[in-house]
Amino acid sequence: MNIAFIVYDQMTMLDFIGAFDPITRLKELSYLPDLSWKIVAETDIIKDANGLIVKADMISPDLSQFDIIFIPGAKEICRDVSFINWVKTSANCPLKVSVCTGSLILGLAGFLESKKATTHPNSFNELAQYAEVVEDKRIVDENDVITARGVSSSLDLGLYLCDKLAGHDAALRIASIMDYEHYK
Using CB under 8 A, list all residues that contact a second copy.
12-14, 17-18, 20-21, 24, 28, 37, 39, 45, 49-55, 57, 100, 120-121, 149-153, 155, 177-180, 182
Question: Shortest gap between Cβ of 139 and a second copy (angstroms)?
Answer: 12
Q: Are 89 and 2 in contact (CB under 8 A)?
A: no
CB closer to a second copy out of 13 and 146 = 13
Question: Shortest gap between Cβ of 17 and a second copy (angstroms)?
Answer: 4
Cα separation, 101 vs 90, whole angstroms = 18
CB closer to a second copy out of 56 and 109 = 56
Cα separation, 115 vs 5, whole angstroms = 22
Question: Shortest gap between Cβ of 26 and a second copy (angstroms)?
Answer: 11
Question: Shortest gap between Cβ of 53 and a second copy (angstroms)?
Answer: 4
Single-letter residue type at 149? R
CB closer to a second copy out of 90 and 123 = 123
Burial class of residue 184 in the structure, from the number of CB atoms within 10 Å of its CB (0-12 exposed, 13-18 middle, 19+ buried): exposed
Number of H helices, E strands in the chain: 6, 11
